[in-house]
Amino acid sequence: MPSSDGSRLLEATGLWRAYGRRQVLRDLDLAVAAGEAVAVAGPNGAGKTMLLRVLAGLARPDRGEVRLEGRPLRRDAPHVRRAVGLVSHQTLLYDDLTLHENLTFAARLYGLPTPAAAARAALDEAGLGPRADESPRRLSRGLAQRAAIARALLHRPRLLLLDEPFTALDAAASERLRAELGARRQQGLGIVLVTHQLAEAWEVATRIAVLVEGRWACNEALAGSLEGFLPRYQELIRA
């Protein structure tokens, strides 16, 4: 649940970002408290992925600022980045290394005390223990996605950014991810979840935000049923 003192885990204010000549983000604000999960939906090209990249510090906003736990992301970058985990469209894994080597490498980058053991535990938790010595290129899309999620959660981030995490996951894996995200949120993890799959988002999120042409068409606490929201959603993205 959201932090009782209302302290902001993530605070983005006045974000502007262009991609070539196209303005992708337009004066966007977003605040996420510890234990809060924001689902970001919207049509293709609305700027959802760029928003995640800016929040992760991978892309610099043209204007505006992102603060994590009160500290500016750009200025204190190495320390602040430790708080962030990212599941993107791609796995961020090296095909020439095994899964275990990939996660051990990531654990070393984050300075975890026992990198090999942490990697093994994360793979076991993701149900990938038996595949630990295989290359990511030998995994199915769904298993690779599970490995990517294991990598993102390896260093116990306080803010998790997910871009279409349910893509290619089977029903059991989706259920497991929803449970995992729910449990971590209860422990105070802040989540920003970009998705087209509103049904999945409805089970994970505490807030729904709809991005249309780089602006919030809505950003509000989740209330009521998904069926009740869908007609309004269609209207928002059509507008």
Partner 1 sequence: MPEWLRLALVIAGKDLRAELRSRTAILSAVVFAALVLVVFNFARDPTALAAVDLAPSVLWVTFALAAMLALNRAFTIEQENAALDGLLLAPVPREALFAGKLLANLAFVGTVEAVTLPLFVLFFNVDLGAALPGIIGVTALATVGFVTVGTIFSAMAVRTRFAELMLPVLLLPFMVPPLIGAVQVTARLLAGRPLSEMLGWLRLLALYDLVFVILCALVFTAVVDE
**Binding of partner 1 at residue 89 (CB under 8 A)?**
yes
Instruction: State the Cα angle at 126 between 90 and 140, rounded to 5°.
Output: 50
Q: Smallest distance from the beta carbon of 239 to partner 1, in angstroms?
A: 30
**Binding of partner 1 at residue 79 (CB under 8 A)?**
yes
- What are the respective helix, strand and coil percentages of the chain, to the nearest 5? 40, 25, 35
31/59 with CB nearer partner 1 = 59
Neighbour-count burial of 183, counting CB atoms closer than 10 A to its CB (0-12 exposed, 13-18 middle, 19+ buried): exposed
What DSSP element (H or E) covers 149? helix 141-153
Q: What whole-number distance in Å separates Cα of residue 81 and Cα of residue 78?
A: 5
Which among 23-31, 106-114, 169-177, 204-212 is the span making contact with partner 1, rule CB under 8 A?
106-114
What one-letter code names the amino acid at 236? L
Q: Smallest distance from the beta carbon of 82 to partner 1, in angstroms?
A: 4
DSSP string over 44-87: TTSSHHHHHHHHHTSS--SEEEEEETTEETTTTHHHHHTTEEEE
**Binding of partner 1 at residue 191 (CB under 8 A)?**
no
Q: Smallest distance from the beta carbon of 87 to partner 1, in angstroms?
A: 11
What one-letter code names the amino acid at 28? L
**Binding of partner 1 at residue 136 (CB under 8 A)?**
yes
26/81 with CB nearer partner 1 = 81
Using CB under 8 A as the binding criterion, the count of chain residues that bind partner 1 stands at: 31
**Binding of partner 1 at residue 71 (CB under 8 A)?**
no
146/207 with CB nearer partner 1 = 146
Which residues of this chain interact with partner 1, rule CB under 8 A? 53, 56-60, 78-79, 81-82, 84, 86, 88-97, 101, 105-106, 108-111, 136, 151
